[in-house]
């Protein structure tokens, strides 16, 4: 029998049966290749627990649209069984009136939790935290804690981090780890198996990049999110942080390329949406670059006298842009890694200024050599004043590369200082900003060296 | 008493006492601000276990140089107590004859393990794996396994992932997690508490980026590294993967900026080394860009007749570079995330060709409008044939932006196809490659439109 002759439900049933044995991450990969209606049918055929696992994967594309295709009772039951952070993401994206209908079917406690989690700003710790963590009063023993963990294990995102609370105020007093608990004396108080140092915590508003930095610095499996009075309101686990890091890197790379972050995979985003994300910056850069046309008009007289000058314009401008691009990527990354902070701008200037001069001298030497070789070998005749032309190109390269390095390294600081993302200091933006000044430097040097001969 | 009047050893002692209470990651931050001799003195004053913890942090800078300042017996004892993966990194970087002396003081088993771990190629799973993991024969019960874990907990990097081996062949048959073990029936065989699916494994040669992808996809806390016959030779833990991801992102961002990856923090790398990492690409790009000078020489006749054409050269060339930079960052990131693979190149062409035409048309319209407005308002006189000049600029922008998008999107594929890192397709490289063709397109369009009038 041919697979295409199967009725859709039978096909879904067959696929669902095959998928039951697979790792959930692989199931999600297979499902992402199907259309939403098929995925919904397969979810209905999968055992309930398995369907929950599938929906719990952040990698499942268009989960809200898929859930919206399910019978409302089933959708509500699934959301209720999912991990709170993921359920909140899916719930948030549901469209009305389906969202309200589902909300009414979920028990009140879960519903208000989903609403609360959905309300946190995008990219905050609150938006990626889960409320399913293990906390115990500090009066408990290690044995009581272990019994409790055994009891709640299935319903918690992680049981490897345990938060010990003050029995009266419910404030966080200590974090503990399961590995320490299982090797501790069962009769000892749980707090004695905790870490000695003050627990590392974040606020719900903390940016997810800062959460990632803490988790990476302290090698944590989870970090608790606390409110102003030190009550644990959720935890961010290491797998959520890895997902967030991958997202952030994608955004940064796309911004560095001179565009808005797509926020969607390249092969899934609609054509119109992609054009909008790209056209904005391209148009802004074009308008910036129009200043070069104005600058060129200003130097028209020089150009008419010495057409030879125009030949090196692309070469000189691109060298300024390239050195700026190098400096800007170095500084963006160093800022992101907190290797340097805003107050280090002056130290960076003292580093980039000599770097620019040295790099410019290297490029200037190459440029002068190229002109001399072409002249000697007769590939091209730069005229009787070719030595002066070569000197102009060489000196202009030193000036422009130095300026490019300074400009490229300072732009991320300026953007950060005024509250923008330093990663917006893309190579194209730096190049555009360096181009106009590059022309001014070039024609300035030309005027200084060539006046009385060519000009 | 003033701190500066303290004898160095007393100062170290005081610092060491203060540091004993801190989180180890914070200690490392403090130590990184000291010179190596001071750090060595502080390490000697710290309790042994604490010194091991400090050296175990990959964030501790110049650890090998610090260890080399310690008495040899102490250095050997510390290396022996450190986690195997980190000890191998430190040991690998020790200089002879210190390395050999230390090697002789370490027990033979640890020594050969360190030598073996140091031998794996950089950026491979083998180079970041640790050999301190928990494995048990499949004949054991859950209770036996838990007792074993309690016993070895202190000496293992993680006890949350447990590998169940065939008792005869020692091949990996199943992975299990501590959370499942503690809630399982203590009398049940350990394999019954494991995961049903085949264990996810990597080879020692697997690139660390691929390990990161697996850990992120399957939400693992560790992934076992196996040899050809399925014996577990080590594990890579999630915290090592996070460190690797941060390193890889830094490399990619720096390459995208058009330079070699620094491999060291910006404010720690020596001036000469930084210049070398930057000058290479800058020089290559400059030489590539010299082709534009040759192209310009070729069009010298046209330039002499219509100097107005030279004014739009920077604007047109930068637009090609910018659209190429956008396309190249999109594709580099999509390739890194495995959203697309090499065989998708044709689908990308079919996507970038219309994108380029639409984006080029948008920019062309802006360009034509700019010329028309300047002409009408009398800001500049583009001559009697200004309409034709505007048409030339508009058409050239469409052609160059389309070419830039195609070129920028195909370069990462080409680099990957020939075994290079696609991230080397930097914005400056794409811009340079687009520039020469951009000039040819521009003067070609000019010849087609302006011959008989301006040309």
Chain B touched by A109 (CB under 8 Å): no
User: Among the three residues B87, B119, B151, which one is the final residue of a domain in this structure?
Assistant: B119
* pTM, 2 dp: 0.82
Per-residue pLDDT of chain A (455 residues; tens, 9 = 90+): 343 334 556 666 676 666 666 788 888 888 888 888 889 998 888 889 889 989 988 888 888 899 999 998 899 999 988 888 888 889 888 888 888 888 888 888 888 888 888 889 888 999 889 888 999 999 999 999 999 999 888 888 889 999 999 999 999 999 999 999 998 999 999 988 888 888 999 999 999 888 988 998 888 899 999 999 999 999 999 988 888 888 888 998 899 888 888 888 888 888 999 999 999 998 999 888 888 888 888 888 888 888 888 889 888 988 999 999 999 999 999 998 888 999 999 999 999 999 999 999 999 999 999 999 989 998 888 888 899 999 999 999 999 999 999 999 999 999 999 988 888 888 889 988 898 889 899 999 999 998 888 77
Interface of A with B in 37-76 (CB under 8 A): 59
Best A26, A269, A311 member to test B by mutation, with max B CBs in 10 Å, is: A311
Q: Is residue B34 part of a domain?
A: yes
DSSP, collapsed to helix, strand or coil, labels residue B349 as helix
Per-residue pLDDT of chain B (455 residues; tens, 9 = 90+): 333 334 556 666 666 666 666 788 888 888 888 888 889 988 888 889 889 989 988 888 888 899 999 998 999 999 998 888 888 889 888 888 888 888 888 888 888 888 888 889 888 999 889 888 999 999 999 999 999 999 888 888 889 999 999 999 999 999 999 999 998 999 999 988 888 888 999 999 999 888 988 998 888 899 999 999 999 999 999 988 888 888 888 998 899 888 888 888 888 888 999 999 999 998 999 888 888 888 888 888 888 888 888 889 888 988 999 999 999 999 999 998 888 999 999 999 999 999 999 999 999 999 999 999 989 998 888 888 899 999 999 999 999 999 999 999 999 999 999 988 888 888 889 988 898 889 899 999 999 998 888 77
Please judge whether B253 and A282 are an interchain contact, meaning their C-beta atoms are less than 8 angstroms apart. Answer: no
A175-179, Cβ contacts within 8 angstroms, sequence gap of 24 or more: A175/A199, A175/A200, A175/A224, A176/A145, A177/A221, A178/A149, A178/B160, A178/B178, A178/B179, A178/B182, A179/B149, A179/B153, A179/B158, A179/B159, A179/B160, A179/B178
* Yes or no, beta carbons of A317 and B322 under 8 Å apart: no
Residue to substitute from A83, A219, A307, interface B, most B β-carbons within 10 A? A219
Clarify whether residues A296 and A337 are in a common domain: yes
Nearest residue in chain B measured CA to CA from A214: B25
Q: Do B299 and B432 share a structural domain? A: yes
Residue B191 sits in a domain whose CATH number is 3.10.580.10
A361 plus A443 within the same structural domain: yes
The answer on A138 and A113 residing in a single domain is: no
In a domain, B216, yes or no: yes
* DSSP string across A209-230: HHHHHHHHHTT-SEEEEE-TTS
The residue among B246, B279, B300 that closes a domain is: B246
Cβ-contact B85, B129 below 8 angstroms: yes
Give the CATH number of the domain where residue A44 resides: 1.25.60.10
Domain boundary among B95, B119, B143: B119
**Number of Cβ atoms within 10 Å of the Cβ of B177:** 18
Indicate whether B282 and B386 sit together in one domain: yes
Distance CA A336, CA B451 (A): 53
- How far A24 CA lies from chain B's nearest CA (Å)? 8
Q: Is residue B402 part of a domain?
A: yes
CATH of residue A446's domain is 1.10.357.20
What pLDDT is attached to residue A361?
Answer: 95
Same domain for A333 and A206: no
Give the model's pLDDT for residue A8. Answer: 56
Same domain, B82 and B183: no
Q: Tokens 């200024």 correspond to what residue?
A: A353
Task: Say yes or no: A326 contacts chain B, CB-CB below 8 A.
Answer: yes
Q: Two tokens at A26?
A: 């692989």
B128 lies in some domain: no
With an 8 Å Cβ cutoff, are B258 and A322 in contact? Answer: yes
Same domain, B226 and B325: no
Q: Could you write out the DSSP letters of every residue in A293-336? A: HHHHHHTHHHHHH-GGGGGGHHHHHHHHHHHHHHHHHHHHHHHH
The angle subtended at Cα A128 by Cα A123 and Cα A130, nearest 5°, is 160
Which domain covers residue A309, as residue numbers? 271-450
Of B420, B314, B252, B286, nearest to A423 by C-alpha is B252
Q: Which residues pair with B165 in a beta bridge?
A: B137, B172
Asked if B277 and B193 sit in the same domain, the reply is no
* DSSP structure class, residue A422: G
Number of domains in chain B: 3
A residues 193..212 contacting B (CB < 8 A): 196-197, 200, 212
Contacts of A283 (CB under 8 A, 6+ apart): B362, B363, B366
Cα–Cα distance, B414 to B15 (Å, whole number) = 55
Chain B residue numbers with beta carbons less than 8 Å from the beta carbon of A363 are: 282-283, 286
Which residue, among A23, A32, A70, A89, has the nearest Cα to A50 in the 3D structure? Answer: A23
> How far apart are the C-alpha atoms of A330 and B221, rounded to whole Å?
31
The verdict on a CB contact (< 8 Å) between B267 and A154 is: no
Question: Same domain, yes or no, for B280 and B427?
Answer: yes
- Contacts of residue A238 in chain B, CB cutoff 8 Å? 221, 238-239, 242
The verdict on a CB contact (< 8 Å) between B313 and A314 is yes
The Cα–Cα gap between B110 and A172 comes to: 41
Q: Do A306 and A430 fall within a single domain?
A: yes
Task: Write the ipTM.
Answer: 0.82
Residues B57-106: tens digit of each pLDDT: 888 888 889 999 999 899 999 999 888 888 888 988 888 888 888 888 88
Q: How far is A320 from chain B (nearest CA, A)?
A: 10
Residues B140 and B109 occupy one common structural domain:
no
């Amino acid at each position: 029998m041919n697979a295409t002759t199967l009725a859709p439900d039978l096909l879904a049933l067959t696929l669902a049966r095959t998928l039951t044995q697979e790792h959930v991450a692989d199931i999600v990969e297979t499902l992402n290749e199907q259309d939403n209606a098929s995925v919904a049918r397969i979810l209905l055929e999968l055992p309930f627990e398995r369907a929950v696992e599938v929906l719990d994967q952040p990698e499942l594309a268009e989960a809200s649209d898929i859930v919206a295709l399910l019978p409302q009772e089933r959708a509500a039951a699934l959301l209720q069984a999912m991990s709170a952070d993921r359920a909140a993401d899916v719930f948030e994206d549901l469209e009305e009136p389906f969202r309200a209908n589902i909300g009414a079917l979920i028990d009140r406690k879960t519903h208000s939790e989903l609403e609360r989690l959905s309300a946190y700003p995008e990219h905050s710790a609150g938006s990626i935290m889960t409320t399913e963590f293990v906390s115990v009063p500090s009066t408990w023993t290690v044995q009581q804690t272990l019994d409790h963990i055994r009891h709640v294990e299935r319903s918690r995102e992680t049981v490897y981090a345990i938060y010990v609370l003050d029995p009266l105020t419910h404030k966080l007093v200590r974090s503990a780890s399961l590995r320490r608990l299982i090797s501790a004396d069962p009769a000892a108080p749980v707090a004695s198996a905790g870490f000695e140092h003050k627990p590392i915590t974040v606020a719900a508003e903390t940016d997810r990049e800062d959460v990632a930095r803490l988790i990476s610095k302290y090698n944590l499996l989870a970090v608790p999110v606390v409110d102003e009075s030190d009550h644990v309101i959720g935890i961010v686990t290491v797998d959520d942080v890895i997902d967030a890091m991958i997202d952030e890197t994608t955004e940064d790379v796309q911004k560095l390329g001179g565009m808005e972050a797509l926020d969607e995979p390249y092969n899934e985003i609609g054509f119109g949406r992609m054009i909008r994300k790209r056209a904005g910056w391209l148009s802004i850069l074009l308008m910036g670059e129009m200043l070069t046309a104005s600058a060129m008009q200003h130097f028209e007289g020089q150009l008419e006298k010495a057409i030879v000058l125009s030949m090196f314009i692309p070469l000189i401008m691109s060298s300024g842009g390239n050195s700026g691009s190098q400096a800007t990527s170095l500084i963006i990354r160093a800022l992101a890694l907190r290797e340097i902070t805003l107050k280090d701008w002056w130290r960076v200037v003292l580093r980039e200024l000599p770097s620019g001069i040295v790099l410019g001298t290297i490029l200037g030497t190459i440029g002068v050599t190229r002109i001399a070789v072409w002249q000697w070998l007769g590939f091209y005749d730069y005229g009787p004043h070719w030595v002066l032309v070569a000197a102009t190109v060489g000196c202009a390269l030193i000036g422009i590369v130095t300026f490019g390095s300074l400009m490229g390294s300072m732009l991320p600081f300026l953007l950060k200082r005024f509250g923008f993302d330093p990663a917006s200091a893309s190579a194209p933006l730096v190049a555009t900003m360096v181009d106009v000044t590059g022309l001014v430097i070039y024609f300035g040097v030309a005027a200084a060296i060539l006046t009385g001969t060519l000009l």
